[in-house]
Structure 1
């Protein structure tokens, strides 16, 4: 059998286990597109699923929801895509018929699920995707950058929920990839002084390069002072711990806004009395279907920089090593990209 008919898949098979297998490529349904995956981001959510700390899909399942690639086959009812189109993938799939889906809010569909979390994901050479879940890449955006559109779109959706006025003081708690994106988005949205709080010196240094006016290292070996209590107009909790939530509540002025983005591994306590007495506005945020086109424009114009966050590269056949490296070298990594093509640089 011709190798081109086969699809190599990496599957999560059990607790922190990944195994490879092959299967025959299936033809797209009438409204599906087959995408040859070119770049895959290794996300913290993937690691949480594998270790049993996130209740999404069940093994065996190929994970992977940060994806970009090339259209290689199209269904007979597909009109908006052609073979050779460069695309990124929106992993969220709604039922398509409920009130939420029909109003453009498929992330609120009670039956929604995500590629790589609930449905087979992009840890494979080829995958079938509904045609409505693709977005065309600008020529100046590389596959590796485009794989990060999924993460960035979640962050931009959170920014849209905030009422940001020019000059507001804002703090981001958490120095992971999303915290670094939030720093950039706050500055782009007109926030005044932006502070990034975290525990890793290299990431905090990058945060300054990306626009943070001040950084605070909470590691015991550092003595930086956090902003004064009740001094901030906006706090974004990108860490998702009980300590980060409490810090956010304490930092905010009365009547201010706390955006909750980081996901705790288990239920945590909240100081509701202080929230009520300070009249704080707590906002949760996840997916944001409306913002995908804006994300790609921001990448193309350089309003948000992705490449500085990409610290490590692996080949597709090294995916197990990439996952192991992500698990064991978390302080050294910001973002790992797995490539299924020669590493592509963005055009100038």
Structure 2
């Protein structure tokens, strides 16, 4: 065991926008399981939606956190692929392991699928026990903070795969949040010919240009010209609003492909007549279990750049402050990372 402490510090979501820290004994590591000492945690918008009651997953009290990276601390019986000290990121998704979807590599479609940090206890803790199959090895080129973003990137890359991007495709991304900025990079890596990002914050739009976008549009700018309608081969709606969906349908040319990625949180109206007459393909995408290794390779090679999005960091003991900042400073922060010192808590 790398850390002699038998105690585990945990931050739990306890109610409406509330978190509380407590201590508990470290969990036993069963057969086929691995204990990971968490080193970095990404604060995701889904965490905030759960805490505010706008996303129904688990019930409080529950440690959230599904963007995770760390170091193997203990391995259970039968685990041969991992050793103490291995650097890893964590796939938070689990399935039953026995149904047809799980056996075909599509555990996200399993009727019993769930995620650590959404339905089950997540990574807002110093030590976390997960199935050994949910770990991916980190090369030295990827730091722990960057590695937290493999979870988000894998969801985005799964959507890119569904779009079947062709060399020279004209593509527009709507939404300048972290996923929108990742989609810009992935479209460029997939061979899209011209990539535009539509958003509302100038500094994020400038970052998009640095990450590979050919042009950007700020929908709030008085002098901004609307993008040309009915010209795009691909549109990715990473905003998930009724307005962004309507704009996506308008932008697509006949036979275009629309990836629906942003979550609206409630049913919204769709212009089905235009969808039918333009013969559009509408695609939804969530998890993509098969692409994890590709994502790590893209991060290590620089095809997917994460560091420019990591704008703020907090120590684990101030996770409550990180959450409060994320809720109150959404325009300033792109991605907030909580870091866990290896020696933190040994004297507790």
- TM-score normalised by L of structure 2: 0.96
Where do 5+ consecutive residues of structure 2 fail to align? 343-348
Aligned counterparts, 1:1-348, within 5 A = 4-219=5-220, 221-341=221-341
Question: Which one is further off, 280-289 or 19-28?
Answer: 19-28
Gaps of 5+ in 1: 343-348
SS of the aligned residue for 1:178 comes to helix
**TM-superposed deviation, 1:76:** 1.4
Deviation digits for residues 280-332 of structure 1 (CA, Å, limit 9, x no counterpart): 00000000000000000000000110000000000000000000000000000
CA deviation after TM superposition for structure 1 residue 222, in Å: 3.5
Aligned counterparts of 1:133 and 1:88: Cα–Cα separation in 2: 9
CA shift for structure 1 position 223: 2.1
Matched residues in 1 for 2:154 and 2:13: separation?
26
Deviation per CA, 1:253-281: give whole Å up to 9, x if none. 00110000000021111111110111000
How far the C-alpha of 1:161 sits from its partner, in A, is: 0.3
Equivalent residue for 2:346? none
Partner of 2:188, secondary structure, is helix
**Secondary structure in 2 matching 1:97:** coil
1:63 and 1:337 map into 2 onto residues whose CA distance is 14
Q: Secondary structure at the match of 1:76?
A: coil
How far does the alpha carbon of each residue in 1:78-117 deviate from its partner, in whole angstroms, 9 at most, with x for none? 1100000000000000000111001110010011000000
Report the Cα offset of residue 165 of structure 1: 1.2
Distance in 2 (CA, whole Å) between partners of 1:215 and 1:261 is: 19
What TM-score do you get using the length of structure 1 for normalisation?
0.96
> Alpha-carbon deviations, 1:241-264, whole Å to 9, x = none?
000000000000001100000000
333-342 or 78-87: bigger deviation: 333-342
**Root-mean-square deviation (CA), in Å?**
1.0
How far apart, in 2, do the equivalents of 1:185 and 1:25 lie?
39
Structure 1 residue runs of 4 or more that deviate by more than 2 Å after TM superposition: none
C-alpha displacement at 1:226, in angstroms? 2.6
1:77 Cα offset (Å): 1.0
Count of paired positions: 340
State the distance in 2 between where 1:236 and 1:341 align.
38
1:3 CA displacement: 7.6
Q: Deviations over 1:188-241 (max 9, x none)?
A: 11101100000011100000000110100011x432123211010000000000
1: CA distance between counterparts of 2:195 and 2:225?
15
Output the CA distance in 1 between the equivalents of 2:240 and 2:299: 26
Partner of 1:345: none
Q: CA deviation at 1:341?
A: 2.1
**In structure 1, what is the Cα distance between the partners aligned to 2:299 and 2:169?**
24
SS at match of 2:254: strand
Local SS of the residue matching 2:5: helix
Map of 2:345 onto structure 1: none
